[in-house]
């Protein structure tokens, strides 16, 4: 029997998140085609949004049309996803590498009797054995782990897997019957969702390009230099803890040990020294560019490209050049 992989969908407004599309791509490679991937969506819009999976060749979507799942805590989805996986007879659930996916992974694994892993960057199957790799110790080592048979719930690291290619097809809906969301979880539902200031760009954790600024910017008003470069590149804005502790920008932008972990295709660190607590949050970025006036700053040890110089001269020139090249 063909292996089927369940991919739990995460919606950003009315579209599947980029990380979900990457999970579909990973599932298709694992199971030998997108038609062996089954999508999952829950909430009042599950039926109308299911065709989003069909854009990537997924022919079947398990749905739970329970409005109580809308804005409910992640825990409210667990029983429904388990019901879908059990009904499909799948052994593997893939999740987006977002805080939603990481949160759901552990809960699902505990309920479903599965092995869980987060931050996964490679998956291969040999017979009934799943072999996966993922960075550990803040990116300073890569772990290889084998799951010999049995169920697996894997949350993938953003940008580690290529997105599924578009191959539009019809989707078949499979309504799931699941126990009602417990009263306790209904009581804790989300009542509002406002974008954070400066949050118009891509989300930090998912962004393909991140421009982060540090104390080298000297004053909060100078941080706009970072924001302007990010806007020109269509990048997300990040910050070191020195910046967020000083209140120049909100802590939601902090990258590092006590902030967000990011792994974009391109990370540009501006006026950031490269303390280990910052590095652990961005070291696994594909290409790292550092701009710093101190040639001995530790950030240059992890940078692929370094510019030693004054950010107040470099950033405006770089932003202008990006705008010119991109016709902005």
Ligand X SMILES: Cc1cc2nc3c(=O)[nH]c(=O)nc-3n(C[C@H](O)[C@H](O)[C@H](O)COP(=O)(O)OP(=O)(O)OC[C@H]3O[C@@H](n4cnc5c(N)ncnc54)[C@H](O)[C@@H]3O)c2cc1C
Segment near ligand X (CB under 6 A), from 133-141, 197-205, 285-293, 320-328? Answer: 285-293
Q: Is there binding between residue 57 and ligand X (CB under 6 A)? A: no
Sites for ligand X among residues 288-307 (CB under 6 A) = 291-294, 297
Question: If binding is defined by CB under 6 A, does position 222 make contact with ligand X?
Answer: no
For residue 69, what is the DSSP state? G
Among positions 25, 214, 264, 306, the unique one binding ligand X when judged by CB under 6 A: 214
Query: Using CB under 6 A, which of 47, 125, 215, 323 touches ligand X?
Result: 215
Closest to ligand X by CB, 79 or 240: 240
115 is a contact residue toward ligand X (CB under 6 A) = no
Does 310 sit near ligand X (CB under 6 A)? yes
The one among 275, 320, 322, 323 contacting ligand X by CB under 6 A: 275
Measured between alpha carbons, how far apart are the two ends of the chain, in Å?
53
Alpha-carbon separation of residue 306 from 73, 162, 264 (angstroms): 42, 27, 17
Angle at 78 between CA 73 and CA 79, to 5 degrees: 125
Q: Near ligand X by CB under 6 A, which window of 8-16, 96-104, 240-248, 316-324? A: 240-248
Span interacting with ligand X, options 12-20, 46-54, 173-181, 257-265, rule CB under 6 A? 257-265
The only residue of 76, 130, 242, 253 in contact with ligand X, by rule CB under 6 A: 242
The CA distances from residue 119 to 51, 80, 152, in Å, are 27, 23, 14
* C-alpha–C-alpha distance, residues 37 and 28, integer Å: 6
For 128, counting Cβ atoms within 10 Å of its Cβ (0-12 exposed, 13-18 middle, 19+ buried), the class is: exposed
Dihedral over Cα of 247, 252, 253, 258: its sign: positive
User: Taking CB under 6 A as the rule, does residue 263 contact ligand X?
Assistant: no
In angstroms and rounded to an integer, the radius of gyration of the C-alpha atoms of the chain is 21
Tell which one of 25, 259, 264, 306 touches ligand X (CB under 6 A). 259
Among positions 240, 263, 284, 285, the unique one binding ligand X when judged by CB under 6 A: 240
Residue 179 DSSP code: P
Q: Which is nearer to ligand X, 114 or 225 (CB)?
A: 225
Determine if residue 77 is left, alpha or beta; phi over 0 gives left, psi from -120 to 50 gives alpha, anything else beta.
alpha
Verify binding: residue 54, ligand X, rule CB under 6 A: no
Least spacing, CB of residue 108 vs ligand X, in Å: 28
The number of residues that bind ligand X (CB under 6 A) is 28
Residue 121: CB atoms within 10 Å: 18
CA 49 – CA 69 distance, rounded (Å): 15
The least distance separating ligand X from the CB of residue 254, rounded to whole angstroms, comes to 5
Nearer to ligand X among residue 118 and residue 257 (C-beta): 257
User: How far apart are the C-alpha atoms of 134 and 136, rounded to whole Å?
Assistant: 6
Q: Could you give the CA distance from residue 255 to residue 261 in angstroms, rounded to a whole number?
A: 6
Where along the sequence are the contacts to ligand X (CB under 6 A)? Answer: 214-216, 240-243, 254-259, 271-273, 275, 277-278, 281, 291-294, 297, 310-312
């Amino acid at each position: 029997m063909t292996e089927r992989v369940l991919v739990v969908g995460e919606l950003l407004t009315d579209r599947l998140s980029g990380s979900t599309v990457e999970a579909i791509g990973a599932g298709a490679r694992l199971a030998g085609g997108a038609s062996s991937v089954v999508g999952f969506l829950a909430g009042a819009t599950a039926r109308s949004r299911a065709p989003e999976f069909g854009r990537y060749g997924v022919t079947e979507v398990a749905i739970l049309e329970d409005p109580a799942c809308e804005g409910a805590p992640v825990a409210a989805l667990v029983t429904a996803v388990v019901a879908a996986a059990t009904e499909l007879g799948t052994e593997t659930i893939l999740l987006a590498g977002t805080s939603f996916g990481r949160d759901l992974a552990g809960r699902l694994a505990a309920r479903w009797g599965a092995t869980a892993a987060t931050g996964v960057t490679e998956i291969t199957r040999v017979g009934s054995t799943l072999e996966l790799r993922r960075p550990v110790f803040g990116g300073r080592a890569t772990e290889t782990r084998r799951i010999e048979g049995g169920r697996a719930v894997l949350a993938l690291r953003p940008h580690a897997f290529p997105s599924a290619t578009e191959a539009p097809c019809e989707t078949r809906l499979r309504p799931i019957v699941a126990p009602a969301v417990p009263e306790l979880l209904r009581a804790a539902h989300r009542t509002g969702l406002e974008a954070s200031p400066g949050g118009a760009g891509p989300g930090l954790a998912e962004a393909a390009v991140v421009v982060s600024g540090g104390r080298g910017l000297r004053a909060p008003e100078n941080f706009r230099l970072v924001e302007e470069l990010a806007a020109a590149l269509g990048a997300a804005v990040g910050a070191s803890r020195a910046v967020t502790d000083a209140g120049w920008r909100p802590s939601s932008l902090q990258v590092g040990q006590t902030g967000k972990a990011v792994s974009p295709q391109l990370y540009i660190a501006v006026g950031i020294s490269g303390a280990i607590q910052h590095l652990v949050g961005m070291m696994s970025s594909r290409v790292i560019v550092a701009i710093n006036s101190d040639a001995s700053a530790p950030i240059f040890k992890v940078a692929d490209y370094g510019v030693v110089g004054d950010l107040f001269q470099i950033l405006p020139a770089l932003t202008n050049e990006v705008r010119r090249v991109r016709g902005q």
